Chain A
Amino acid sequence: MIPGMLDGVKVLDLSEDIAGSFCTRLLADYGADVLKVEPPSGAQLRRMGPFFQDDPNPEKSLFYLPLNLNKKGITLNLETTAGQNILKRLSLHVDIIVESYEPGYMKSLGLSYDELSKDNPGLIMTSITPFGQDGPYASYKGGEIVEYAMSMVMSISGLADREPLKHGGFQAQYQGGLFAAAATSIGLYGQSNNGVGEHIDVSIVECLASTMMATQTIYPFVGATQARRQSVGDAFSNPMPCEDGWIIVQAGGGATWEDISDFFQEPKLLEPRFSEPAQRANNGAEMDEIIINSIKSRGKWELFTKAADARMLFGLVQTPSELIDCPQLESREFFREIQHPTIGNIKVPAELFKVSETPYQLHSAAPTLGQNNHEIYVEGLGYSTSEYSQLRQLNII
């Protein structure tokens, strides 16, 4: 097995949610040893559906399974003094702790960054929360829709004459996880040079806001705010219906406007009211009609392939099952199989990006609850078998 880029880096993952779990999953995927520490009842994520075959079993959450690949797992009750002392012992041996509890919770357990870094000054602790560790809303409740609302994303998503629209799924949480992993890997590299640890404070609202690069800047440059799109006359570059789904087309790339007109077999598009970008904006409704009419009996795959030949910027709306069967993702080995103790062989989305010198390895499925307890407590921390069984009886692990 070729060691990964983060070989030798030890991580404690205290997170129970998507963002923290995705952050540590990325660290694990690129070589770190990640130990997930869950309450004896299991991380919140285990209770999030969908579930494998719709069975709401904590080992079968379709969030927990992919987000905890390549990790080990133990249980530990952090709300007991014994549990807190065990965590302090564990933290002496790690480079990174990732947590996503509400600000102040770790401190209330005596497990704040200041506390844990006393005996491990190079420690990196990454805290991921909706609003960050300080500020007037720090203790406010977040969540997917709240974070989209606060971050400008919703203000420009959806239609101008309807309510703002959040993005589908839980992509904001994944974003928080990725951006936190980025900060953590940079922090770790900095630490390797100057020995200084860090408490890294990641706000999911700020992660999402950071992507609004045009929306934020237009105000301090000209005093304007971006609008949501109009319901008519703005179909170009938005999903347009064809025979068996939707396609998306955009001007630019290697294609000229003539190429685009040829592609749609609509010479009318060559008239200046469409071919001139400035005029196009004023004749959107008419252009929508022409284009949508021209593709209504054409299939999305035929259009997609022909558009690529014409060097057009072109997309089609794919469904989850189409993504699973996608030959491009297959060539990239995006989906891999792994044996899970409860579920058996299962296909999962694997690496985020490819690296040449340290090829990706999927070496373990998500841990079952407390799967590595014996290994960590008895073999690692040196508890005797009777102490180990006592910890279990006292519901500490």
Chain B
Amino acid sequence: MGETPATTEDHSLRGPIDRPALITIRDLVDEAEPLATPQLDDFLNPSVLAVSLDDGLCGATSARIDVQWTTQADYKFHYTDSKDVNFRWGKHPHDGDYISVSDLEHYHPPPDASSNPDDVEDSCIKQSPEELVTRAVLKLWRVAYRTDSYAPLNAGSNPP
């Protein structure tokens, strides 16, 4: 599991990292997902909330979701695991680089969270409050975990 995301991108989140929002997300993750252990990288001056997962997707044995959230409600939820698979849900300006993305919300697909404009997809997560975005990320991860597939992560639906 890499310390830094395998692929980076030129775009950045607007505004400073919002400690109050990261704390809200930490408490929500702690309550909602038994496999997750969320921890701020620095309690007083956090830049990221690292959510350790006791199991990974599709054969990975452990994983981590790194969460960043700013005062402008831009965000990144970046998944990385012991098989070095990466993907990321994001919301931030991208100068129209992501041609398939209609608004700010987008998804960098596995296996390498590609930032290639041809690869980046519109995100299925459309709502803004951190409560709803966090719940959506955890639910999508859960469905992918149960079905042992990356496909549900940005499908946005899980029919019977």
The answer on A and B forming one complex is no
Chain A residues within CB distance 8 Å of chain B = none
